[in-house]
Amino acid sequence: AKLAQLTHGSLLRLHLLSCSVAWCLNFASKGSEIWVGVYVERLGLRHISRSIYFFSLGGKVLGDLVNVKLSERLGRIRTLQLCFISSSALLFCFLAASSAPSLLLLAAAQNFFVDIIWCNMYTYLAEAFPTSVRSSAFGISMGVGRSGAVVSTALGGVLPALEVAFALYGGAFFLGGLLCLCFKLETSGRSLADVV
């Protein structure tokens, strides 16, 4: 019965869209996260290959602190759009940067936005689906999304240059932002009447 409900009309559209956005998020965020240390080492900046992870973590913590107010002010869908596009732009700036301070700051800023995407994606998916299929739809969407992480981590090792992989990660963030334009139901500030 749940599968029939998930594959019917607007729920099928929402589910396919959710899977696609989750795939873009996992592909872009996990790929860039895994390969960032190797990337800076190849730039000859071995001394920041560990520090960059701490700067990234700092950006994520700050993202957690800002997330609630930002999504309350803009709504979840606009927040997702803004943060996907910002993550894309910052990742392309990261590719153009060459100094240690600029790479560290860009990594922190990009992960600030990535963390906000994760927070809003989890919340949005939990709120957008009706109670009867909520956990199944959420699980399938995020499960499909995880395949993007598997692909992206492998991709960095098989391409001739990590710059190509990072450009693909930036493109996936941008595509995720465009796909978020297709979300129709804004859930921020709404009570979930069908919650049990």
Q: What are the tens digits of pLDDT across the range 145-189?
A: 999 999 999 988 899 899 999 999 999 999 999 999 999 888 887
pLDDT (mean) for 85-101: 96
Give me the residue label for tokens 């700092």: 58
CA 154 to chain centre: 18
pLDDT (mean) for 5-26: 88
Percent with pLDDT over 70 in the chain: 95
Tens digit of each residue's pLDDT (9 = 90 or more) over 113-155: 999 999 999 999 888 888 888 888 889 999 999 999 999 999 8
- For residue 194, name the pLDDT band (cuts at 50, 70, 90): low
- Residue 126: what pLDDT? 86
Mean pLDDT of the chain: 91
- Residue 1: what pLDDT? 63
The pTM (predicted TM-score) of the whole model is 0.91
- For residue 10, name the pLDDT band (cuts at 50, 70, 90): confident
